Structure 1
Amino acid sequence: METTPTSKRKPTIRDVAAAAGVSRGTVSRVINGGHWVSPDAKAAVDQAIKTTGYYANAAARSLATGRSNSVAFLLTEPQHLLFADPTFSLLLRGAAQELSQRHMTLVLLVAGTPEEHVNVAQYLGAGHVDGVLLISSHESDPLLESLIATGVPTVACGIPLGHASDMPTVSVDEIVSARTATRHLVERGNQRIGMITGPADTPGGRYRLVGFREELGDNFDPNLVEPGDYSMASGAAAMAALLERAPDIDAVFAASDSMAAGAVGVLRKAGKRIPEDVSVIGFDDSGLALTVEPPLTTMRQPFEQISSEMVGLLLHVIEGGTSKSVTLPTSLVVRDST
């Protein structure tokens, strides 16, 4: 018995143009980034794409344009931190949303080991993506040198130490933010103020300590500073060390909410009341701050805006535009921990 397949014809750009009431050229420009298209026309094309079920032939378009129409989200940290640190997932979600609106693909790359560094460098050097969103950076990281050498367009989240002039960046004002957090503790009447820093080879680890020192001035005590790695466990270990050295400590500024949460746990086990005995302030306001008891005072980073600015800058550079850097403000969110 002979059978006849009942496949439905795939929609084309012509179908999308007809549904949107625009030219095929307008549809093509929307699909390839939305440049030189009015907001109304872009909205009409986006709706028509959904209605018709059209999707571009990525291979054909790549051959025609010399581009992959994809961007890498590059995290140079151990894999478990992608899930353990809420800031990374917020940035990942924001970047994915921004790129999906432009009909582009986000490729997740994690390079936390030397082997992963080599694999990622080879992948990027082969031209598999049009650009890179560099989400974390460590000073003297060889992967930074590889990125610069390959010439792949890159935008960094935070100022990469030693490479500030080599790529555009989107960052918060780390020093001003740290000064604001420290000033809040001083204005509460705290006098023995400690800090749990991030890694010294990261921009947040270095510049938040600078702001802390600047705000305290002559009252800065290096004995009240303990390093961490942004994780909750490191915050707990740092707080325990600070308490042992300075049992009269009455406030702590942690360079991340995760470390602040770890510090709170240690303080409570030590019988310290928060904030009556020790005030605690974190950094990020990524969602974790509200789960701590008491809820954390913290410096809020505008994660959605950071992701949006990074994607916009990167696509501008990919199109041949002049690179630039953006600095965004943070805001103090006062809760029960202070």
Structure 2
Amino acid sequence: MSRKAREAVQDAVAQLGYVPSMAARSLAMQRRGAVVLAVSSNDPALFANLFFAEVITGVNEVIETTDLELLLVPAASDRGRDRLARILGSRGADGVMLLALRENDPLAKIAESAGVPVVHGGRSLDRTPRWYVDADNRGGARQAVEHLLATGRRSIATVTGPLDLHAGTERHLGFREALALAGLPDHRVVHADFSEAGGAAATAELLTRHPGLDALFVASDAMVAGALRTLQERGRTVPGDVSVVGFKDIATAQRTQPALTTVRQPIVALGREMTRMLVRLMDGEEPTTLILPTELVVRQSSDRS
């Protein structure tokens, strides 16, 4: 269309007060008007999990400004993956967001073979996707341990997340980097699964192996409740005997006893920016990947005064 013709059309639109029909636009662009949030988890209480609840809050903030529908698909099981493949194979959605992918996760192949825009929430260990939104997991963990060092702690241990998750590996690397820069050993480590029970069991194992530990970096707030319970059962006071720092700053972090020092992960923003990126891709734009900053929030659990 020539510039003159385009200006004529724009003038006509302005004079008629025309409002484009989203249904007609979707039909013209062969859109179904839906997007998928697929989560690589088979946890039956998935959507009661505070992390996923906050991600969905951010996703919904953007969805509500559009005429799109949101489909939530837990897809860690064969049944869930088959459902996602059917939805995408039948063109039942115009784009997909993938969350919590593990190493060699088949969800990536299912989504990327469907011919629709794909945005990843976080990264997987085996690949760096073309479009993703992530948090600075390594930098946040390093800052947490540097804070413990600044308060005089030297026998610092960690309860990691799963090391087949990019976030779990990055937080462990941040822990190791901070101790290496301080010239301290980084062997006080037990791996867990981001659950409260996992945090309790891992902390018990650390105390058995390293009874003199004086600080604990726990790689997610969900594990902290278990860690604090184990410390109390073993007669350790917090922060008197052991300082504790978590990661995420979920709503319960301020209600622990004592209130938890933690790394604030921008979880709602993660969901929001994933969705904005997907909508831009669906509109034919070329967004850039995004790594969101984290922030250390200091509360009583690491206060040595």
* TM-score, normalised with respect to structure 2: 0.89
Please name the residue that 2:58 is paired with: 94
Task: Report the alpha carbon displacement of residue 163 of structure 1 after superposing the two structures with TM.
Answer: 2.3
Aligned identity (percent) is 38
Is there any run of 5+ residues in structure 2 with no aligned partner, and where? 1-13
8 Å CA contact 1:85–1:258 kept in 2: the answer is no
**Matched residue of 2:301: which SS?**
coil
Are 1:261 and 1:289, in contact at CA under 8 Å, matched by a contact in 2? Answer: no
Task: Quote the offset at 1:96 in angstroms.
Answer: 1.1
- Give yes or no for the alignment of 1:292 onto 2:256: yes
| Aligned match of 2:159 | 196
Indicate conservation of the 8 Å contact 1:197/1:255, yes or no: yes
Task: Name the CA distance, whole Å, in 2 between partners of 1:249 and 1:23.
Answer: 74
Q: Distance in 2 between matches of 1:271 and 1:236?
A: 14
User: Would the aligned equivalents of 1:226 and 1:241 in 2 still touch at CA under 8 Å?
Assistant: yes
Q: What is aligned with 1:41?
A: none
From 178, 191, 200, the equivalent of 1:215 is 178
Q: Aligned partner of 1:194: which letter? A: A
Q: Kindly tell me: are residues 276 and 107 of structure 1, through their superposed partners in 2, closer, same or farther at Cα, counting changes over 3 Å?
A: same
Corresponding letter in the other structure for 2:66: R
* Superposed counterparts of 1:1-338, under 5 Å: 25=18, 27-28=19-20, 32=22, 62-164=26-128, 166-217=129-180, 218-222=183-187, 224-338=188-302
Between 1:305-314 and 1:111-120, the stretch displaced more is 111-120
CA contact (8 A) 1:252 1:278 kept: yes
Judged with a 3 Å threshold, the aligned counterparts in structure 2 of structure 1 residues 184 and 74 are, in CA distance, closer, same or farther, namely same
Q: 1:65 to 1:24 in 2, by over 3 A?
A: farther
State the one-letter code of the partner of 1:214. Answer: E
Deviations 1:91-137 (A, max 9, x none): 11121121011122111110121222222222222211111121211
Counterparts of 1:186 and 1:23, CA distance in 2? 67
After TM superposition, the score normalised by the length of structure 1 is 0.80
Aligned length: 287
Q: Counterpart of 1:310 in structure 2: which amino acid?
A: M
Classify 1:162/1:81 alpha carbon distance in 2 versus 1 (closer, same or farther; 3 Å): farther
Structure with higher RCO (Cα < 8 A, 6+ apart): 2
| CA–CA separation in structure 2 for the residues paired with 1:126 and 1:202 | 30
Q: CA deviation at 1:260?
A: 1.5
Question: 2 CA distance for matches of 1:129 and 1:195?
Answer: 41
Gap runs ≥5 in structure 1: 1-20, 33-57
Contact 1:85 1:231 in 2 (8 A): no
Against the structure 1 CA distance between its residues 126 and 102, is the aligned structure 2 distance closer, same or farther, given a 3 Å change threshold?
same
Structure of higher CA gyration radius: 1
8 Å contact from structure 2 (residues 56, 268) kept in 1: no
Q: Residue 277 of structure 1: CA displacement?
A: 0.5
Is contact 2:101-2:107 (8 Å) kept? no
Which stretch shifts more, 248-257 or 305-314?
305-314
2:73–2:80 CA contact under 8 A, matched in 1: no
CA distance in 1 between counterparts of 2:198 and 2:254 reads 20
Could you list the per-position Cα deviations for residues 14-34 of structure 1 after superposition, in whole angstroms to 9, with x for gaps in the alignment? xxxxxxx99554x32xx64xx
> Residue 190 of structure 2: SS of its match in structure 1?
strand
